[in-house]
Amino acid sequence: MNDRFHPFENCEAAVELPQRFTCPFCYEPHPLALLAVEQVQRYVAGRDDWAEELAAGKMLGVLVALDGQGRLGYLAAFSGNLAGSVQHDFFVPPVYDLLDPQGVFKQGEARITAMNHEVERLEHSPELLALQQREASMKQEMSDEIGSFKAMMALHKQERDQRRDAGGLTDEEREELLNQSRFEKAELKRIRRRHEEELAKTTDEIGAFCCRIDHLKARRKAMSEALQERIFRLFIVKNGRGETRDLVDVFKPLGTLPPAGAGECCAPRLLNYAFNNGLKPMCMAEFWWGDSPVGEVRHHGHFYPACRSKCKPILDFMLQGLDVEENPLGQPMDEDALDVVYDDDCFTVLNKPSGMLTVPGKLLDDSLLTRYQDAFPEAHGPIVVHRLDQETSGLVVFAKDKITHKALQQQFENHTIKKRYIALLEGQVLQDEGIIDLPLLPDIDDRPRQRVDYDQGKRAVTRYHVLERSDGLTRIALEPFTGRTHQLRVHCSHPQGLNCPIVGDRLYGNASSRLMLHAQSITLVHPASGQSMTLECAPPF
């Protein structure tokens, strides 16, 4: 009996099976996944012993599968560890148990911890502290003596100058004054040399001491890197073809070792368990439970795509052999004519549809730019003045020549171009208008997501004005003063912003047919005529 596989009861006839497996990077949960999520949520809500930890935030996941007897059921997983363990009966086990006290990781970690203690002991040892204090004292003594001697030299020089100015000196007296000056300068060098020679001995002792610490740190780093690689060799994952590969080999084509935490997320755990236990994956979903982490945007109960930095290379391998849904964000759009809002000899303003890239991407050449170049072959030099997210629709300005491009770019840099967006938000924004000021920083572990970071983030400012509230939704106008990546999406969804995600925001809210964000108007100065002009395009929602 497999106690990690939880069969559904009497639902096969009520819900149609998915035709293809879920694309983990862009999806709407299948009804069967929603059913599994509901059961997992009931289970975790009943675990009072986990309540506090789960309330702080945890990513959970489900995978719907068929077992060898044709029964339909689901697997459940959590990311990282829970209640100090990665082994809980209701959930699938990890790909590799990092917390096993007899395992490679814990034993290697203990050795590195012992070395950390030795480094810390040396860095705070009384011997090193005494040497550093002695060095500081010697430097002060050197400074004091040299300072006093220089003051005396200045006084003697003043006296010599007065005697010279008074006149009547004999040749012998002038020579005597000159010799006094020469002697004092030589004596200053002797004083400095004596102190430097004495100081060098102490400095060398400190250097030798620090050398021991640096040597230990170098050993610690080498041990840590070797342990990391050894551990990732133990994270062995299987794909839909029955092939296995460790994470070092999975990430090798990228020319890097796996990042910390790779293989510990829900999706790899769920798929690996299914493949190793003869289960046929049908669909999956990952959702957030509890409060949002500091700086990030996660909403309780919302579904999220798999992270790209840690999970994408792993899942690209593991999904081989499964018939997986196409990622709609990686597919060319239907061949529709460009929607030209304005065009003259200097520039063109286009209405970009949601789902189209502004410029070609890593995996997709089709874009607004490539279509524009086909339709307007006379455009040359830098063309792209600004960009919109792939999922955002609305006005985009393309220049037709270098001079126009430079002039429009300058307006953007000087913040004289005004843009207005219309968005539909989940929930009701209570305040009619206001300003959001939250600094943003790219989330290096989950690009292209952004996070709020008051220490390293770049300032991002947005003005908002509520247009309408109805049926639990808010229609809102947004005017960005800055142009940070995902600025409007984060400012709307973050708890310190409006705390109302944009409808259809798969990264910061809930995925749906499209992201309800539209660049509705743009005001700029025409580079040739110098006239201010406002161009508008109504949102399609």
The pTM assigned to this predicted structure is 0.73
- Confidence class for position 71, pLDDT limits 50, 70, 90: very high
Residue 335: pLDDT band (50, 70, 90) is low
Q: How far is CA 290 from the centre of its chain?
A: 21
Say if residue 170 is exposed, middle or buried (CB neighbours under 10 Å; 0-12, 13-18, 19+): exposed
The mean predicted confidence, pLDDT, of the chain is 92
Determine which one of 246, 389, 401, 505 is catalytic: 389
Q: Is 389 one of the annotated active-site residues of the chain? A: yes
Residues composing the chain: 541
Given CATH 3.30.2350.10, say whether it is the number of domain 329-536.
yes
pLDDT in tens, 74-91: 999 999 999 999 999 999
CA 189 from chain center: how many Å? Answer: 56
Measured from the Cβ of residue 415, the count of other Cβ atoms closer than 10 Å reads 12
Report the range of poorest mean pLDDT among 132-146, 161-175, 183-197, 515-529: 161-175
Taking only the tens place, the pLDDT of each residue in 426-483 is 999 999 999 999 999 998 878 889 999 999 999 999 999 999 999 999 999 999 999 9
Q: What letter represents residue 20's amino acid?
A: R
Q: Are 474 and 468 in contact (CB under 8 A)?
A: yes
Which of 13-27, 55-69, 293-307: highest mean pLDDT? 55-69
> Could you tell me the residue ranges of all domains in the chain?
6-96+235-326, 118-221, 329-536
CA distances from 135 to 139, 140, 148, 171, 190 (A): 6, 9, 20, 47, 20
pLDDT digits (tens, 9 = 90+) for 83-121: 999 999 999 999 999 888 778 888 888 899 999 999 999
Query: Distance between CA atoms of 414 and 288, rounded to whole angstroms?
Result: 40
Token pair of 203 as six digits: 């400095």
Residue 541 DSSP label: -
Q: Is 59 left (phi over 0), alpha (psi -120 to 50) or beta?
A: beta
Please give the Cα distance from 452 to 499 (Å, whole number). 13
Residue 82 parent element (H or E): none
Q: Which residue has the tokens 């080498």?
A: 222
Confidence of residue 11 (pLDDT cuts 50, 70, 90): low
